[in-house]
């Protein structure tokens, strides 16, 4: 029994964190809000070089052949930086879905490209009305009633929409499922949702941590009535409540990733618990962060909103807290 990351996992995550501290600071995220792609120029290839993107892909196609538990701490770091790249979707969901379910030729071709960073694949799960990064995707993994399909962009009609998070380029997609594109059945789709929920939960924990860090930093500095506002008990308790929410969400998220790695029969239940807790934590922390910042948090010149709006988007992505609690209830309560 050991419930902690290995030193290797922590080192890998720290290396990614160091990269993001340099290449994905708030100024870089602001660039992604304004540019054509919603992404940070050059950053994806750095992540590809580090092996992060192909972490779950077999070594034979240029991946690292590692597991979800190795990736989850890295995705958490991506959340902390509000990384505006489709990391959790591609590395966490698309790669294992193609790896496990595409035919050998497709798998080899698409995974090689993804691991080499030469193309991306967009993901459309039934739980989400919107697809992120549809424009420019080389392929789509799309869910229909009969399972996951691997779909060519030529036959996907894309209608762009605008998200509150300027770096999220979301679209509605329209397409016609056919047996020719079917990659796997509903169980494969359910597994994809479990992975999506788990990695989105990890991102949300990272976002929550950064919002809390911004908040504790601000309230320790900001003075009113002659003292730092962080010395007021109401502010202290807000911050403690924020920490409580996120610190008790994280173990559920790490466990969900572990269960995916282990192909635990309860992996789906664990993913739902993780997403429910992380969505709630990010919501609570975001509310508290806004309140403790006062007016400054309500401006776009201050950085808080970059993390807050990402969190708002991800809170309902891949299933809301309520929907995942319903799944837990169905499983546990019958």
HEC per residue, 198-210: HHHHHHHHHHHHH
Please give the DSSP secondary-structure letter assigned to residue 56: T
Among 104, 233, 263, 265, which residue interacts with other proteins (rule: CB under 8 A)? Answer: 233
Contacting range for other proteins; rule: CB under 8 A; set: 13-21, 46-54, 160-168, 194-202:
160-168
Among 105, 179, 224, 265, which residue interacts with other proteins (rule: CB under 8 A)? Answer: 224
Among 155, 227, 234, 300, which residue interacts with a second copy (rule: CB under 8 A)? Answer: 234
Question: How many Å apart are CA 168 and CA 224, to the nearest integer?
Answer: 36
Would you mind telling me the total number of residues written for the chain in this entry?
A: 334
Question: How many Å apart are CA 128 and CA 141, to the nearest integer?
Answer: 13
Residue 285 interacting entry, from a second copy, other proteins, none, C-beta within 5 to 8 Å by type: none
Closest distance of CB 77 from other proteins, Å: 17
Closest distance of CB 232 from a second copy, Å: 6
Other Cβ atoms less than 10 A from the Cβ of 284: the count is 18
Among 16, 134, 235, 285, which residue interacts with other proteins (rule: CB under 8 A)? Answer: 235
Within residues 167-206, the interface with other proteins by CB under 8 A covers 168, 170
Question: How many Å apart are CA 204 and CA 313, to the nearest integer?
Answer: 10
Q: Could you tell me which of 249, 225, 230, 220 has the C-alpha nearest to residue 311?
A: 249
Within residues 279-318, the interface with other proteins by CB under 8 A covers 287, 290-291, 294-295, 297-301, 305, 308-309, 312-313, 316-317
Counting residues that bind a second copy (by CB under 8 A) gives 4
- Look at strands 223-224 and 182-184 and give their pairing: unpaired
Output the CA–CA distances (angstroms, integers) from residue 114 to 82, 90, 107, 299, in the order listed.
Answer: 22, 8, 10, 38
Residue 64 or 274 having the CB closest to other proteins: 274
Is 248 a residue that touches other proteins (CB under 8 A)? yes
Question: How many Å apart are CA 132 and CA 233, to the nearest integer?
Answer: 41
Closest distance of CB 295 from other proteins, Å: 5
Among 233, 265, 301, 332, which residue interacts with a second copy (rule: CB under 8 A)? Answer: 233
Q: Which residues contact 323 (CB under 8 A, 6 or more apart)?
A: 127
Q: Are 219 and 228 in contact (CB under 8 A)?
A: yes
Contacting range for other proteins; rule: CB under 8 A; set: 4-12, 13-21, 54-62, 80-88:
4-12
The footprint of a second copy (CB under 8 A) covers: 232-234, 237
């Amino acid at each position: 029994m050991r419930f902690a990351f290995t030193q290797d996992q922590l080192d890998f995550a720290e290396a990614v964190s160091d990269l993001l501290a340099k290449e994905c600071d708030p100024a870089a995220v602001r660039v992604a809000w304004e540019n054509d792609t919603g992404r940070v120029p050059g950053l994806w290839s750095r992540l590809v070089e580090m092996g992060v993107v192909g972490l779950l892909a077999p070594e034979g196609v240029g991946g690292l052949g590692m597991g979800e538990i190795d990736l989850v701490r890295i995705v958490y770091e991506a959340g902390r930086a509000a990384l505006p790249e489709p990391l959790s979707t591609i590395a966490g969901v698309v790669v294992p879905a193609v790896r496990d379910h595409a035919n050998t030729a497709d798998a080899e071709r698409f995974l090689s490209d993804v691991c080499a960073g030469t193309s991306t694949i967009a993901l459309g799960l039934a739980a989400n009305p919107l697809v992120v990064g549809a424009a420019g995707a080389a392929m789509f993994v799309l869910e229909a009633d009969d399972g996951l399909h691997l779909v060519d962009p030529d036959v996907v009609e894309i209608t762009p929409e605008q998200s509150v998070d300027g770096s999220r380029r979301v679209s509605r997609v329209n397409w016609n499922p056919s047996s020719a594109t079917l990659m796997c059945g509903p169980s494969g789709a359910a597994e994809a949702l479990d992975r999506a929920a788990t990695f989105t939960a990890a991102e949300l924990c990272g976002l929550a941590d950064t919002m809390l860090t911004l908040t504790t930093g601000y309230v320790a500095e900001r003075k009113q009535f002659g003292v730092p506002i962080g010395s007021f008990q109401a502010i202290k308790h807000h911050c403690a409540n924020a920490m409580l929410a996120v610190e008790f969400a994280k173990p559920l998220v790490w466990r969900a990733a572990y269960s995916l790695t282990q192909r635990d029969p309860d992996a789906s239940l664990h993913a739902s618990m993780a997403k429910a807790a992380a969505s709630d934590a990010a919501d609570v922390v975001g509310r508290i962060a806004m309140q403790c910042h006062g007016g400054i948090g309500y401006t776009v010149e201050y950085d808080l909103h970059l993390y807050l709006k990402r969190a708002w988007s991800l809170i309902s992505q891949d299933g809301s807290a309520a929907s995942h609690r319903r799944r837990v209830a169905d499983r546990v309560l019958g």
